[in-house]
A and B are shown apart, each in its own frame.
Chain A
């Protein structure tokens, strides 16, 4: 191995940068070496330098080195890094430090002046380019459209472009006047060229850098060529345009469609004749107008075409299918928002999964204090509410609280058959004190406005056209009475009010209509409670339906209020004794009407609907807690059954109360007593109590009597009316039973639900008192019996716990194929992300601290330097002064000496 020095020499030689090798040649080449060469050389030499100077690198020895790892910071160049830091600080921090207390500062914006690496030529080029760009920027808008291209350089009005010929000839004339002029014209640094050390004396020299003149020439040539091109293009375009213009008239006819042509043809032709397009000003205007007209025509066109019947049908079907899809989703209780984006990509899925997890976690957190050892599921998560227990619910074993709860419960629930008589008895003395039923709005309306008994004599001719929008029912009735509006005119009146207060016509109309919706509902109740005018009720319900579609939320609130009122009234009725004949438990026609309207206004098939669910619950409550006391109660109950079947017509959800009621009414009408063994396990509290309601071989046939008449019939004393009502009721019971069985035939518990009904029907049929409905009963029995039989035949045991097997959690560590200690292999995505972020924050923090420390060090060093400089300056100054004084003194002394010498000499 040769010595260090030898090696160095060898390397330098190999790199070809030894200065001493070709000293003479170098002299010649001097200026021709380009900066890039210089740089290259510099780089090579510095590489060599660093390669041989081991003192500049710092090697960190690793304690436990593992192969295949690249440890950051194991190899460093501290000196270099330090210098780099100092340099960068000098550049950034130092100016800031120096300008610290200054408000303004001088900025050198000269082109290329800041860059010391540029030589003069490059600098000039840069200046030129910048200038060019600048002018371009300023005049770009003009330049784009400036066909004339006026920015030509002139000298005394003579174009300088003529000199291009010379430039192209390849003559390199320093004294080219054009050249100097150009420079003058650009920025006035005409002396610059003197400094250029250009040497053209070696034509055979290797390809040299172009002089600035050459560059300029090239540029100019190029720009000229472009200009020429553009001019040529423009001429071509013009020619083409002329041609198109000329052809326009020919195609004008095509631009207008046939229908528009008829009425505009004349006009257009006129215009064409008078002012055909010529390109002059008036022609231009004409043309513009024409184009505008054309635009309007085109835009209006698509509406002119009617959709074909097929398209209309198709769209209607699409719409229906879409609605049905949405309805099904609501019915199954799936969220609409999820439905619109069912997949939502991996991220969304993961997000959802995470949310679910969180939910589960929350649940388990909430339930950390269960009353028993591990009872954690509670009712809240199923949306049932608190129930009666409320806060007492924790004390499960504390029996002291039971009575409180149960006494509170007294008002709310039905009671058993055993208790009925006693309850009635115990209430006997208190009846007078019990709160009477007050269905506030219904009764209020009837009482506040005396029923429109004085039927207006006016004819319908003078129905006003404008009305105030009524905000409550009293106002509505005021309008009706003050204008003497007849009931038959009310639909028109409502129509007019709705037209007058259309939401598009005013900001506040929506609120008004929301109130009006409530008024309509009130009027519906009013009509239902006074005179059941079906036409008005139909109209009103249709209006309510439309208004509800317009304003669903306010309408839902109105409905909810009404339902709440019904429920309150019902509870009052029940607390007055459910079996008491006088207490108003079963809903009357107004109540039935509103429940009916709910079914045709709201989507009751929804899994959970603010109005629908509440209404359904209310119906269930009516059916199971109101006790049957008479035939009219059965009629009302049947209507409720029908209404709730209609609610669930699409969703086919099961309503146990309906089946209960059907069984009870069948048994009651069939005259079954309690002593007979009532089939099934359904509660039949009222069976055997109402002997008078039982059928007694009626002969009349079922009729289409309306509800009101049916109710009056059922309450009348006339035997024939009673018979008619009984037959009607039985007929309808059978129809509803069939319908219900049809609807719920797919139910798991169909047999359990309907077998008792079949049994009851059979029992009643055997008694043989059905008279005219015997046939229908037999048919129904046949049908239901078959359904039950088939259900029994196809019954299988439940298999509700068939779930996918869940894998047992594996505890075997995961093996990585190409393990890298630098990578993180955290399986938990979130945790990995967090730790990564943490590491980043830590590194950043450390870096920032280090930088700040270095900054401080730099500033301190700088200050010290300044201080030293100051001191040096002062010392210098003082030294100079002392020197000066010394000189003076020496001079003085020498003078004195000379004088003394002279004196001496003279004295001698």
Chain B
């Protein structure tokens, strides 16, 4: 649209709309919003005007309402027209969530949510008898554009959405989960792949959501006032029923709800009963939890698979946030997914360990060839990945049993030791106490660092790194030369730590936790912050040809002294090879 609008015009239109007699300007306003060349401030103003108009219309029952009453055709037509505009307004708001302007994004979100509240209140009061209702259709129009877009969700929108609604209002969170599940289901088939940022958007939200209720009494804040009222009424009731409800398996609730959902999906009509049930569920803790795990599971069960990054993000939090709330059937499918991750190797395998362990420990998951798979995870990259501390925590746990065969433990020790020859100081610092603890726990493995076998040459090292079965790897017929060579590591801390292997084994166990979270950065910082106590020693030799190039110079230099000096730094490979 090529016309220019300014804020005066908007105000004028608002005045004309105040009587609600002529509703056509709504059309114009909606046009401004979608137009390209319109100033952000004007759009802003338009939004507010439209919000006022639509909320007035809603409250007056001009958009929604019971059809059966004596409405004449004109009114029905108007209603239909208005409903159309109302829907269009919501859709426009949805596009504005991804506007380039910060204020527009936030305002549109606020306006849509406030209209949602007005609408929900209205339909709650209109039902006979009045019962809390939730404007699910409008909500869908909010959630859908929020999660599905060409661009990822804006940070400010996300934090606003988290702070004001999902993190705060229990009903919104509940319905949000519901809608998300709905969305995931929609893009379930291979033919209709998931939109690009859907999964990552949901993941980001879930990662940052820290206010999941853990107790029934924590469900006490609602966006729609009617639901809040209902909650209050039902508190007494629920108090009475509490004991009964708790004894019931809450998963039954979830089952029922899923069934409800299916039903609703089929009929698509506004079935009052199911709606009622749905709204009532918003005050149930178990339903909340079920929804939460439902979101996770539907998200992970993607036929095309999540991408590596998303997978990893999910794995990081899965064992804490999701697994405790699963029911047996879901656990099994999750376990399959996890073991797939684990067998695929790489970082995700390391991360899947936590969840697998959770399942094995708490839910009696049977995982065959566990140690073999664990052994396979110790590959050439394991000491270099970001999550090695997490992996070593788990590994320490898995190898903590004193009933493990020494051969197995030795294989792990030797394999890690072999890897340490190429590891960073931080990883070595972690590995040495780890090895020390293992050696203390399994004295049979002491052969690895002290053996009286009178062999020399190739027989001294019978270990085969490539053997996948730890029990077949002959680790006990080898020694930890790699760890021993760190006794001359360049970093003094590593050096000193490596020396414990040749000291008397009388030290108590090391507190492994102290050694896990090191990195180049922390070690460098420690080194740099160390106060200089004694005068640091300076280089003794003569520095000639610091910046190289004297290989050629050597011939041209006449001065014997200088020539000698250059000759004396033959070991200086930089001077030999590089000229700056």
Contacts and interface: CB of A to CB of B under 8 A. Distances in A.
A385 B532 CA distance: 16
B298 to A, nearest CB: 22
B346 A416 contact: yes
Contact of B574 (A382, A410, A413, A599): A599
A552 B537 CA distance: 8
B390 interface: yes
B511 A377 contact: yes
Interface stretch (B89-97, B186-194, B248-256, B544-552): B544-552
A36 interface: no
Interface string B477-509: 011111111111111110111000110110111
Given A385-B525, A386-B522, A801 B502 contact: yes
B243 interface: no
A600 B521 CA distance: 25
Interface in B552-580: 552, 571-580
Interface stretch (B62-70, B274-282, B414-422): B414-422
Chain A residues touching B, majority SS: helix
Interface in A374-411: 374-380, 382-390, 393-396, 399-400, 402-403, 405-406, 409-410
A429 interface: yes
B456 interface: yes
Residues of A in contact with B, size category: 35 or more
B516 A389 contact: yes
Contacts of B451: 797-799
Given A377-B433, A681-B380, A563 B552 contact: no
B520 interface: yes
Given A646-B571, A655-B490, A752-B481, A384 B429 contact: yes
A534 B579 contact: yes
Contact of B507 (A377, A384, A528): A377
B152 interface: yes
B493 A384 contact: yes
Nearest to A639: B578
Interface residues of B, number: 120
A379 B515 contact: yes
Nearest to A335: B534
B481 A609 contact: no
Interface stretch (A290-298, A455-463, A656-664): A656-664
A414 B384 CA distance: 7
Give the residue among B320, B482, B487 with the most A Cβ atoms within 10 A.
B482
Contact of B309 (A422, A656, A732): A422
A409 B547 contact: no
Given A614-B528, A800-B502, A405 B510 contact: no
B385 interface: yes
Contact of A406 (B386, B521, B573): B386
Given A419-B347, A801-B449, A403 B317 contact: yes
A499 to B, nearest CB: 21
A799 B449 CA distance: 6
A592 interface: yes
A654 B508 CA distance: 28
Interface in B443-494: 446, 448-453, 455-458, 460-461, 465, 478-493
B404 interface: no
Given A399-B320, A422-B307, A617-B520, A545 B543 contact: yes
Given A383-B526, A409-B519, A706-B549, A602 B539 contact: yes
A412 B387 CA distance: 11
Interface in A776-802: 792-802
A797 B479 contact: yes
A660 to B, nearest CB: 5
Interface in B302-339: 307-309, 312, 316-317, 319-320
A701 to B, nearest CB: 15
Contact of B514 (A379, A613, A616, A803): A379
Interface in A579-629: 589, 592-593, 596-597, 599-604, 606-611, 613-614, 616-618, 620-621, 624-625
B573 A681 contact: no
Contacts of A656: 421-424, 489
A794 B519 contact: no
A732 B577 contact: yes
A747 B485 contact: yes
A444 interface: no
B136 interface: no
B264 interface: no
Given A603-B540, A753-B485, A795-B460, A800 B490 contact: no
B384 A534 contact: no
Given A371-B513, A653-B488, A736-B577, A416 B526 contact: no
A553 B492 contact: no
A486 to B, nearest CB: 20
Given A429-B152, A599-B574, A388 B522 contact: yes
Given A534-B549, A542-B543, A747-B485, A372 B511 contact: yes
B511 A736 contact: no
A556 B543 contact: no
Contacts of B230: none
Nearest to B316: A403
A327 B538 CA distance: 10
A649 interface: yes
A801 B505 contact: yes
Give the residue among A399, A606, A750 with the most B Cβ atoms within 10 A.
A399
B393 interface: yes
A10 interface: no
Given A620-B425, A642-B573, A560 B481 contact: no
A602 B453 CA distance: 44
A217 to B, nearest CB: 76
B277 to A, nearest CB: 34
Contact of A798 (B384, B385, B456, B481): B481
Interface in B231-260: none
Contacts of B24: none
Contacts of A596: 546-547, 574, 580
Interface string A409-453: 110111111110111011001000000000000000000000000
B313 to A, nearest CB: 10
Contacts of A400: 320
Contacts of B423: 656
A654 B547 contact: no
Contacts of B532: 553, 556-557, 610
A469 interface: no
Nearest to B450: A801
A15 B518 CA distance: 96
Nearest to B577: A732
B563 to A, nearest CB: 16
Contacts of A753: 421-422, 482, 485
Contacts of B518: 379, 384-385, 387-388
A395 B452 CA distance: 40
Contacts of B479: 797-798
Contact of B535 (A542, A552, A618, A649): A552
B461 A384 contact: no
A621 B515 contact: no
A803 B504 contact: yes
Contact of A336 (B151, B307, B534, B577): B534
A-B pairs, top 4 by smallest CB distance, nearest first, are A385-B526, A749-B485, A600-B543, A379-B514
Given A545-B543, A567-B528, A706-B549, 18 more contacts: A333-B496, A377-B508, A383-B526, A389-B513, A396-B511, A416-B346, A418-B347, A429-B151, A601-B538, A602-B539, A617-B523, A638-B577, A645-B574, A655-B490, A683-B383, A706-B579, A747-B485, A796-B456
29 contacts: A330-B537, A333-B492, A378-B510, A385-B526, A387-B516, A387-B522, A389-B516, A393-B516, A406-B387, A412-B521, A413-B520, A417-B346, A418-B346, A419-B308, A534-B547, A553-B532, A596-B546, A617-B425, A642-B578, A656-B421, A735-B573, A736-B573, A748-B485, A749-B484, A751-B481, A795-B461, A796-B460, A798-B480, A801-B504
